[in-house]
Structure 1
Amino acid sequence: MSCVLTAREVCQCLRDAALGVLSLRPVEEPGDTGLVSVEVEGWRLRLDFEGGRLHHCERARAPDGREGNLETWQRYGTNPVNLLSTWELAQIERLLAQPRRCLAE
């Protein structure tokens, strides 16, 4: 088992969130840079979400502590967001665009 998260592992986390198997919860509002942090049942993801579009995943941390980042994934020619189907991507974008009620809880 690798110590670094692969793009496929992070993509599977996003797929599970898109399907409703795991719940995606923003933990902060997007900043001026368009980056938003989300939690997906123990996973921590930093996503580039600007203009209602999910562009890429900057970094990720799995519940077991393994981490991955954009630089590493691009070295191997992909990004977790690029591996999503059109429908999965639309679902994640819809979840990210929902009102941020959960931030106040």
Structure 2
Amino acid sequence: MTKSTTTVSAREAYQVLKDVALDTRTLQHPPTVSNGETTVVKVDDWEITLLTSNGVLIGCPSCVAPDGRTGHWHRFGTDPVSLLSAWEQARIEATLPTAALGENRLGTSAKA
């Protein structure tokens, strides 16, 4: 079976989120927020949609890679957020509430 080159795997998107948690990549601000639950963030040239509920990261339904490939995850447990460790998830959550301010709660400046 050959791997499709037109879609982004959950593991590939997870690696981008993990890199944010490890401070090797930075969320670019400002994010686009809709309904207070859906946040679209940019990481390098990735565009990642994150779902939150009361400040808790609960999912990643989709993303677009820099090369135009897309990934969509609709079932619980199959999206990139489900692959994050509790520590990684907490690090990403810490950046979201103050994302529009250009600085996250981890004390590092975000790219403008």
Query: Shared topology, TM-score over 0.5?
Result: yes
Residues 34 and 41 from structure 1, CA distance in 2 versus in 1: closer, same or farther, beyond 3 angstroms?
same
Runs of 4+ displaced beyond 6 Å:
none
Structure 2 unaligned residues grouped into runs of 5+: 103-111
The aligned residue for residue 88 of structure 1 is 88
| Higher helix proportion (structure 1 or 2) | 1
- Asked if residue 39 in structure 1 is aligned to residue 11 in structure 2, the reply is no
Unaligned runs of 5+ in 1: none
CA deviation map 1:7-65 (0-9, x unaligned): 00000000001101011124435322510110001100011023110010021011111
Aligned length: 100
* C-alpha contact (below 8 Å) 1:26/1:37 kept by paired residues: no
1:63 maps to 2:74: no
1:13 aligns with 2:16: yes
Cα RMSD (Å) of the superposition? Answer: 1.9
Identity of aligned residues (%): 36
Residues 38 and 44 in structure 1, CA contact (< 8 A), matched pair in contact too? yes
Offset from partner CA, 1:56-92 (integer Å, 9 cap, x none): 0021011111101123xx39x5110000011000000
1:59 partner letter: S
Amino acid in structure 1 at the alignment position of 2:44: E
Identify the residue that residue 106 of structure 2 maps to in structure 1: none
CA distance in 2, matches of 1:39, 1:99: 11
Matched to 1:101, the amino acid is L
